Structure 1
Amino acid sequence: MEWKTQKGLLQIVERRDVEGIRELLQSWRRPHEEENFDEALRKAYLVMFSPERNVLSSEAFDGRKGEDGKGPSSSLNRSFWLFVASLKKFVEEEGRLPVSGKLPDMTSDTESYVGLQRIYQSKSRKDAEKLASYVDRIAHETRTETMSAAQVQYFTNLAPYLSVQRTRPLEDELRSCSADLERALKEESSIAHLYIFFRAADMHLSESLGNIVEDSSKHFVELQAKSMQILSEMGMPPGSVNIWREGLLEFLRYDGSEIHSIASILGGIIAQESVKLLTRQFVPVKNTIIFNGANATTTVLEL
């Protein structure tokens, strides 16, 4: 906070800012050795990944409304967007997110750590009370049901991890190329081509009901043509993306095999994402994961 006060920054995002933080810490350091300062200096780079940076630039904060008419409204949905509106008011006035009350592990003696934790928890309660006043005011203005103090405190604790995820209908995914996919397809090192290959193979199998490796040279040409057809149908201009020849040959060699080691990795990912959805905890992967077992690389795309 001292650095932000001096520089007038809402968030720290550049490497030179990290060096400035380290210099500030060094200026506070007393002559004798202190482990907590060593720890702070080692972890100063983490300010580049501040939750404030992610939340304040997220879709939840871009002014869009939660009720878009594309799905059933729920009390949880209404509470979320009521809190977001209140949080925006809080940030406009305070220039920061509310204190969550959770203190990370650090080098300290028990008495000092517990004392600092109490300070954080006290500040969190005060911030939650201020947020609650915004919640009540906005709920009254919009004639919606307000939130309980416990709900406000719950959302306050989760404010640094605020996230909104929207997905396109499957029909839109099949008909048009998302900006994320288009960018990935143009990168030489990307494995996004595998997504196109799978769709081309599905198209081929649905038309021929045959094995795609009976004649690999013939099917290479067919899958290459179908891949280009899919790209064209998605609005990608001819020649804008080069079909990854080596990747397509490897795809044909793979022939839909289900190797136990690959199955265990993908099964673990599916189980993890299922638990997130069922428990409503943690942020799920946004859209589609592509895993290339040949070189153990993974990419996540918004399709």
Structure 2
Amino acid sequence: MSTDSAQVQPDNKTRRYDRQLRLWAASGQTALENARLLVISGSATSTSILKNLVLPGVGHFTILDSTPVTARDAGNNFFLEGTSSIGKSRAQEAVRLLLELNDGVEGQADTSNLEHILDSNPSYFSAFTLVIAHNLEPKLLERLSALLWADDTLPMLVVVTSAGFLGEFYIQFHEHPIIESHSENTPSLRIDKAFPALQEYASSLDFANMDPTEHGHITYVVILVRALADWKAAHDGKPPQTYEEKKLFKEGLQSMKVKFDEENFDEAEAQAYRCWTETKVPSDISALFQDPQLGTLSSTSPPFFHLLDALRKFSLEPPHTLPLTSSLPDMKANTTNYIELQKLYKARAEEEKEKFKSLLSHPVDDALIDSFVKNAHGLKVLRGKQYGTLDKDPAALASAILASPKAGATHLALSALARVSSSSPTEEELTAAAQALLPPGTELPEEFENAVGEIARSPTADLPNTAAFLGGLVAQEVIKMITKQYVPIESYCVIDLVETWTGII
């Protein structure tokens, strides 16, 4: 590193966002900073969600709330100034105080009435990337959900519901492709289908006459490529197939040691399965090649699907794998051998990336191509459902509750609350509303009694601890949707802070 480059200091933005840049990199941060959020209501939960989005640097947020601050708001919302905020606009007060968290974020208060906007200006929502609604009146929520679902160019909707120590949220979206899913599945090293330069390098090493120290630092990748080539030469070009053959192969690796404590050969034995496990396109990736979007590609199709089509074409040609990446895991080796191996993989990865680019039928940004190829082993395409779809299907709801009784019982109780007109519903009213959502004769789960009791006790309570917990969870999922990184929750995420658990239904 030169003296000049060593003295270059990171700018204020990099220092401020250092930890999160390690999670979603510059591309994710840019997406976050370009996002425009609409949050409907300035409740304790809404401001808690926003706090966790303003701090990491979301570009712009608008709070839509026509109501004044009440004494209840002043007592449970950390983003109000106690009694001095009472009577003032809840949206304006919350925006003013949230903006103190990050001077790089824009915030706006809108004191308009949501029903009036839905009636007279439905295009209002097209200015936003994502809409978050907390404890919205059921009829307005249904209208908002239907409006945003009817046009896939309109923003995603995050519906958040809470009552006392219980809550849930749901993300309504049409289609959500993910390139950087941060999959735990590592890219293939392609040991069983070694590329020519790797095969040549492995064959060129004189294992028998090598210095003992150098011998103890050969990477396990090279050891396996060499051992597999030798095995195939003696077995009609076939890798070890039976249990006995695999056992013999591993014993052969151990016999290659010149010292008993050569950990690199022990590592090779542990990774020997790579020699007889065929490297091919993972089933979840090959399933994406059947995506209907690939059959109707045009210049207006999202870049993701042009990239996916090129990946499909790439996989049809030998060696019938995904493009190689230059990422290597840690392994027992000295710096020289590890770097040499990295150079081989990097050079081949660049060659295959150029081949991949030649298969594109439409121009795509180079940075996006790089990211796609690097993360091809973890691609996802999620397709969501409109909010409320589950509750409109009694049989599906009953089945979901049977599969997840605790989460299902809480969701059912919260859904029942939305269908009871009273602001102080009784357990009997809530139970009847819940029963009406299920097929006739269906028994409520045992866990329903506790859930309905908590909701009857505090149907409108927006508690600070519940708000804080939901705020963290919802913000995390919103960031996933905005950055298109990591895999978001696709169903209802239910929380219970009485017993302290979360669940999915």
TM over 0.5: yes
Partner of 2:372: 155
Higher strand share: 2
- Relative distance call for 1:97 and 1:192 in structure 2 (3 A) is farther
Moved more, 91-100 or 289-298: 289-298
- 1:98 equivalent among 293, 302, 323: 323
Partner of 1:165: 382
Q: Which has the larger radius of gyration?
A: 2
Encode CA deviations 1:43-87: one digit per residue, 9 max, x unaligned.
Answer: 8999x9x995464265x3333216989xxx996x53211111111
Residue 193 of structure 1 deviates from its aligned partner by 2.5
Q: In 1, are the aligned partners of 2:264 and 2:332 still within 8 Å (CA)?
A: yes
Does residue 1:81 correspond to 2:270, yes or no?
A: no
Partner of 1:216: none
Does residue 1:111 correspond to 2:327, yes or no?
A: no
Partner of 1:222: 429
Does residue 1:270 correspond to 2:474, yes or no?
A: yes
Encode CA deviations 1:151-179: one digit per residue, 9 max, x unaligned.
Answer: 43331112112110111123644423696
| Structure 1 unmatched ranges of 5 or more | 9-16, 140-144, 213-218
Residue 300 of structure 1 deviates from its aligned partner by 3.3
Residue 122 of structure 1 deviates from its aligned partner by 1.7
Letter in 2 for 1:104: P
Partner of 1:199: 415
Within 2, Cα distance between the matches of 1:79 and 1:168?
23
Equivalence map 1:238-253=2 (5 Å)? 238-239=441-442, 242-253=443-454
Letter in 2 for 1:246: E
The 3-state SS of whatever aligns with 1:245 is: coil
Encode CA deviations 1:108-133: one digit per residue, 9 max, x unaligned.
Answer: 32222222222222222122122112
Partner of 1:211: 424
- Relative distance call for 1:25 and 1:154 in structure 2 (3 A) is farther
Letter in 1 for 2:304: F
- Relative distance call for 1:290 and 1:253 in structure 2 (3 A) is closer
The 3-state SS of whatever aligns with 2:407 is: coil
Letter in 1 for 2:321: R
- Relative distance call for 1:262 and 1:146 in structure 2 (3 A) is same
- Relative distance call for 1:79 and 1:264 in structure 2 (3 A) is same
| Structure 2 unmatched ranges of 5 or more | 1-189, 194-237
The 3-state SS of whatever aligns with 2:502 is: strand
Residue 223 of structure 1 deviates from its aligned partner by 2.0
Higher helix share: 1
Partner of 1:121: 346
Letter in 2 for 1:195: H
Letter in 1 for 2:503: T
Letter in 2 for 1:170: Y
Aligned-residue CA RMSD (Å): 4.1
- Relative distance call for 1:95 and 1:298 in structure 2 (3 A) is farther
Aligned pairs, number: 261
Q: Choose between structure 1 and 2 for higher RCO, CA contacts under 8 A separated by at least 6 residues.
A: 2
Within 1, Cα distance between the matches of 2:391 and 2:322?
39
Letter in 2 for 1:228: Q
Moved more, 161-170 or 244-253: 244-253
Partner of 1:186: 402
Letter in 1 for 2:483: T
The 3-state SS of whatever aligns with 1:290 is: strand
Residue 35 of structure 1 deviates from its aligned partner by 3.5
Within 1, Cα distance between the matches of 2:344 and 2:405?
48
Partner of 1:298: 502
Encode CA deviations 1:218-240: one digit per residue, 9 max, x unaligned.
Answer: x33332221121124xxxx643x
Within 2, Cα distance between the matches of 1:258 and 1:193?
20
Letter in 1 for 2:336: E
Partner of 1:13: none
Residue 195 of structure 1 deviates from its aligned partner by 1.4
Letter in 2 for 1:230: L
- Relative distance call for 1:193 and 1:38 in structure 2 (3 A) is farther
The 3-state SS of whatever aligns with 1:291 is: strand
**TM-score (normalised: structure 1):** 0.67
